[in-house]
Each structure stands twice: as structure tokens, then as C-alpha cells.
Amino acid sequence: MEKRTDKNSYTILFAIVMVLIVGIILAYSASALKPKIDENKRLEKQQNILYAMGINQNDEKSVAFIPTNKVADEFSKYIKKQIIIQGDKVTEDDKAYLIDLKKEEAKAKNASYQRRLPLFIGEKDGKTFYIIPMRGKGLWDAIWGYISLDKNLIVQGVYFDHKGETPGLGANIKQRFFMDDFAGEHIVDGTTFKGIAISKSNADPKNEDKLDFEVDAIAGATITGNGLAAMIKKDLGMYMPYLKTIKN
Amino acid sequence: MGLLPKKDAKLITDPLLDNNPITIQVLGICSALAITAELKASIVMAVAVMAVLAIGNVVISLLRNVIPSKIRIIVQLVVVAALVIVVDLILKAFAYELSKTLSVFVGLIITNCIIMGRFEAFALANTPWRSFLDGIGNAAGYGLILIIVGFFRELLGSGTLFGIPVLGDPIEKTGVYAFGYENNGFMLLAPMALITLGIIIWVQRSRNESLIED
């Protein structure tokens, strides 16, 4: 005799019930947890921005952010101004850090849309930092980051992160040994914007030459490195018209 | 092991050596190649797979008498995918830092053939408790190989263990680097994971010839 579970009617019924149950569980947990997840992401953005301007709790080797319970206060203390650059128009907006770069990039494909570029101006010990968010493509998925410049357009600090780069290789872009190399690098040669290349052959592993527009690459992570250099070139490039006005 | 009856204990000890999921059953190779450039990543992956495999095995085992055999693979896929996504959401909400560390592993767990392999080969025919032990045992065997491969790849490729330099500083030329030693960048690429794995299989089979197939 045929087993009960082999019947077509049973199979179809089972599939329907299973999909309903799993669907309800997933939909419920996604919508119930969304506010909490969004809040975590918002605080992370603040932590990243502060990190790029050197406000963190780093020790010798590891990356340590301002703790989440303090980050909101620190953020309002150090970030003096948030602006949105849209063509020649510059507006102030204290929610500028929430602008979704991915959506802006998608909208900008429509030629009539003037892309909104958020920029954060921070102040620490009397020094002004200009912090620029960036977003690009790594090997597997998105990479993004923040770069802070002083008024001479010299890099003061960076923070990089990624969605799914290979652990141990491309994922190391968010490690100190890589990010710390960027501090002090120049991005403009006279008045020409150069960006920062990720170089496998710069023969400067200690990164002493800050005027070569290069930092040392990570072994085994060529494509992530190229993606990162392209991201800096493209996203920082969009800010150059504005940044040139601050350079004295 | 005194804690478990002998038959149950074998479920845990067998997959560690003579029935290792990677070297003998040839399951879970892809993730073993992908994420073993670093010891830390290997351990995180091993723990994550252990949690998913143990819980998934129990769920499948509980459902084993009601799952229609025609669509059992799909049912298994749905169970593991739903499980992993819910856990990921909960981590994102309540342990955001941890979820960032795990993010890339989540996709790797769902597609890990070890999960489907054990559901199909064991959980569908055994009781929940035995399936649970089988999940723990196989994930431990999988983790063991990951850790061995990760150890050699990180040590020889980067000269570090858990990110801490153990062979000296390659730039300042201290430690073994003073004698002209260089890190082998090739160890960080996937082909060397395959070769390292091959060496482990070779060692294992030459020590126990009953494992060699004709």
C-alpha cells in the first residue's frame, strides 16, 4: 500500500502549510526586529564617522569604536555641521548622515537628477575635519567607508567596511594595519585630484612616502583593493569642486 | 566517554577521524577552502555550523515522519534557510557586533553541503537526540579540519596566529625573518587550501589503510 506521505494531495498540502508557517515566521521576525536593526545601523554610522576623524578608543592594534551608549552624545559634540552638496547648492541638514548612498547612486543614473552629496564637518582640538562617505564594489559585494581630510586635503583617517569580502583576505580592509596607512596621504597633486591607489609594487611597506598617492596592498586581495581605490577615486572625485573651495 | 552510552558516543567520535565529513565524506569542501586563510575565521565558521547543524538535525528529525519523500530536499532547504535567516535577524537586533563578524558566513552556512548531507543521510532516519549528537559530531569533525588548515595557512601565509605575529616582523626583519625567511603569499590563496587539505587526507589514509578505497 502506498504510504500516506507519498500521496500527491498530502505533498501539496504539506508544501502549502510549510510555506505559510515559514513565511509568517520570517515576515513577523523581520518586521518586529526592523526598528531595532535600523537603530543599530544608525549608531554604527555615527561610530564610523567619528572613527574616521580619530575619535575612537583604539589601543595598539585593534579597532575600537566609541561605545553605542555614548556615541549619540559624542557625535553631536564633535560633528559641528552636516551639509548636503547638490551641484552648486549647499544646504545644512543635521540628518545628512542618514542619506543612503546606494539610493542616491541609483537615482543619479537619471541624468536630470542632481545627486545629493553629504559631507560632515567635525572639530577636534581646534582642528577642522571634512568627512566624506564613500561606497563602491569589492570582490563579492559592496564596500563602503569614510575618509576624513583636513583643510589642506591631507587624509587624517579612514574607516572601511564591507558586506561580504573574503575573511582573512579582502575582509582585512577594515583592519588597522591597512587603514592606518592612509593617514597623512595626499590626494591632490598641486590642483589635480589623484586619489589613493592600492599598489602591489610601491616598495614602501612602512608607507613613509606620503606624496606617492599609493598605499601598500593586501596580499591575496587584489580585486578588493582595486575596488577600494576606484571607490576613493570616484566618490572623492565628486566632492572635489567643493573641496577645492576650502583649500587655502 | 562515560557520559554517553557507547553507541551514542560513537556518533560524536567517529566524524572526528575515521568518518570525517571533509576528508572522508567529502562534504563542506567549498567553505573549507573559502574561509581558512585565518584561524579566527575558521573557528567562527566551525561554531556557526555546529549551531545550525545541531538544531537543523533536530528539526528535521522531529519532522521525519511527516515530510513527504518527494519534496524532502526542498523541505530541508527551507528549514535551514529559515533557521539561518531568523538567527541572523536576531543577532542583528541584539548582538550587532557579532552579526557583523558572521555576516559573510551566513550565506556560506546555507549553501554548505554538510548541512544537507547530514539531514539526508542521518536526521531523516534517526531520533532527535541521536540526530543532535550526529550534528555536533560532524560539525566538530568539520571544525577540526578547518582549524588545522587555518592554522597552517595563517602561520605560513601571514606569519600570524589569531592576527598576532608569531614569527617576528616581516618589515623590520626580526625573528625568523632576520634569517631570510619570507611569508608565502601563495598560502593565502584558495589553491593552497586544497593542497593543505590533500596533505591531511594523505596523512590520514596512510596511517589507516582501511580508509583507502579501491
Q: Among B35, B36, B89, select the one facing A29 at the smallest CB separation.
A: B89
Cβ of B35 within 8 Å of Cβ of A167? The answer is yes
Cα gap A121→A200, rounded to integer Å = 33
Name the burial class of residue A35, with classes exposed (0-12), middle (13-18) and buried (19+) by CB atoms within 10 angstroms of its CB.
exposed
A202 versus B73: the higher-pLDDT residue is B73
Cβ of A14 within 8 Å of Cβ of B154? The answer is no
A241 CB-side CA count, 13 A: 8
Residue ranges of chain A whose CB lies within 8 Å of a chain B CB: 5-6, 10-11, 14-15, 18-19, 22, 25-26, 29-30, 33, 36-37, 40, 44, 61, 140, 163-169, 171, 175, 205-206, 219-220
For A41, list phi and psi in degrees, rounded to 5: -70, -40
Per-residue pLDDT at B137: 92
- The answer to whether B49 and B107 have CB atoms below 8 angstroms apart is no
Cβ of B37 within 8 Å of Cβ of A219? The answer is no
- The answer to whether A161 and A143 have CB atoms below 8 angstroms apart is yes
Per-residue pLDDT at B193: 87
- The answer to whether A142 and A162 have CB atoms below 8 angstroms apart is yes
The 3-state DSSP class for residue B160 equals: strand
Looking at this protein, which amino acid is placed at residue A212?
D
Q: Chain A closest CA to B59's CA: distance in Å?
A: 13
In DSSP terms, A149 is beta-bridged to: A130, A155
pTM of the model: 0.75
The C-alpha cell 561580504 sits at A164
With CA atoms as reference, the chain A residue closest to B42 would be A167
Question: Could you tell me where the beta strands, DSSP code E, fall in A150-228?
Answer: 155-162, 188-189, 192-193, 197-199, 214-216
Q: Does B171 touch chain A (CB under 8 A)?
A: yes
The 3-state DSSP class for residue A148 equals: strand
Per-residue pLDDT at B132: 92
Name the burial class of residue A126, with classes exposed (0-12), middle (13-18) and buried (19+) by CB atoms within 10 angstroms of its CB.
exposed
Cβ of A164 within 8 Å of Cβ of B103? The answer is yes
**Alpha-helical regions (H) of chain B:** 6-13, 29-34, 39-62, 72-94, 96-110, 113-121, 128-158, 190-207
With CA atoms as reference, the chain A residue closest to B108 would be A164
Cα gap A90→A85, rounded to integer Å = 5
Cα torsion through A65, A70, A75, A76, rounded to 10: -170
The predicted-structure confidence for B57-116, as pLDDT tens digits, reads as follows: 999 999 888 888 888 888 988 988 888 888 888 888 888 877 877 777 777 787 788 888
Domain boundaries, chain A: 4-38, 41-246
Q: Chain B closest CA to A44's CA: distance in Å?
A: 9
The C-alpha cell 583636513 sits at A150
Q: Chain A closest CA to B198's CA: distance in Å?
A: 21
For B128, list phi and psi in degrees, rounded to 5: -55, -45
Q: Does B210 touch chain A (CB under 8 A)?
A: no
Instruction: Look at residues A178, A197, A218 and name the one whose alpha carbon lies nearest to residue B183.
Output: A218
Q: Is the ipTM of this complex over 0.95?
A: no
Per-residue pLDDT at A67: 86
Per-residue pLDDT at B62: 92
Cell of B102: 558572521
Per-residue pLDDT band at B1 (split at 50, 70, 90): very low
From chain A, the residues in CB contact with B188 under 8 A are 168-169, 219-220
Q: Among B41, B105, B183, select the one facing A168 at the smallest CB separation.
A: B41
